[in-house]
Amino acid sequence: MGKTVLIVEDEKNIVDILRFNLEREGYRTLDAYDGDTGLQLALEHDPDLILLDLMLPKKNGFDVCRAIRTAGRATPIIMLTAREEESDKVLGLDLGADDYITKPFSMRELLARVKANIRRSDMTPVPAPAAGTKIGRGRIVIDTGLLIAYKDGIALDLTQREYELLRFLVSNPDRVFSRESLMEHVWNYESYVGDVRAVDVAIRRLREKVEDDPPSPRFIVTRRGQGYFFHA
Ligand code: CA
């Protein structure tokens, strides 16, 4: 059965082109032109993925996203933002969105992200009840059976994506990964070219939880112009 994508966007021409392209790829679509209706459809129909515009009438994308998570729904959400809306403040907010894409976007890139996020959500493993293999050494240790990361023996409160990012970096210590390559390995995008802000957002959130002093990271380090690495 086709997967269902809910489009929440107040610009009708964008909704039309998204619907056309998604349906051509075999998805079913639902659409909403304001935040209230979007939230209502998200909760009633439990779609497989939500494309959520940020600036919406009645209820903005932030509030819709938060309300969906508060309702306990883990539906993958891709936030659509306009370039002029970008700011560190916006990106630093813990919205619970899985990904961000900037308008104007290429349809090919958007379809690749929709596919990757639905696939990832389908593959989400059920945590094993028993403790498993531990990776990492020193202060950061990850139990890959329990899917829990520890710092100094205390479990970190990570989102699934933050956990996956940390696990990937810790599994490959002292190796630098470009943001594109992290998009491929952690976000499951194939041959990734395009917007890599989702990586920066996730790295920033992760540092706030992992580092002693987030502005001066010691574990998750930036190699300027090249990418990020885990300093073992
Ligand atoms: Ca809008």
Are the C-beta atoms of residues 203 and 228 closer than 8 Å to each other? yes
Distance between CA atoms of 127 and 110, rounded to whole angstroms?
A: 30
Q: Ligand 1 centre and the CA of 11: distance in Å?
A: 6
Residue 26, pLDDT score:
94
Q: Ligand 1 centre and the CA of 120: distance in Å?
A: 27
HSE-up of residue 125 (Cα within 13 Å, Cβ side): 10
116, 76, 74, 113: which is closest to 98 by C-alpha?
Answer: 76
Are the C-beta atoms of residues 19 and 29 closer than 8 Å to each other? yes
Are the C-beta atoms of residues 178 and 226 closer than 8 Å to each other? yes
Residue 130, pLDDT score:
57
Q: Are strands 148-151 and 140-143 parallel, antiparallel or unpaired?
A: antiparallel
Distance between CA atoms of 93 and 18, rounded to whole angstroms?
A: 26
Are the C-beta atoms of residues 211 and 219 closer than 8 Å to each other? yes
Q: Ligand 1 centre and the CA of 54: distance in Å?
A: 6
Residue 147, pLDDT score:
85
Q: Ligand 1 centre and the CA of 80: distance in Å?
A: 9
> Tens digits of per-residue pLDDT, 48-92?
999 999 889 999 888 899 899 888 888 999 988 876 665 544 554
Tokens of 49: 């993925």
Which parts of the chain have pLDDT scores under 70? 1, 83-95, 123-132, 191-194
pTM of the shown model: 0.66
Q: Are strands 77-82 and 134-135 parallel, antiparallel or unpaired?
A: unpaired
Residue 129, pLDDT score:
47
Residue 92, pLDDT score:
46
Q: Ligand 1 centre and the CA of 65: distance in Å?
A: 15
Residue 93, pLDDT score:
56
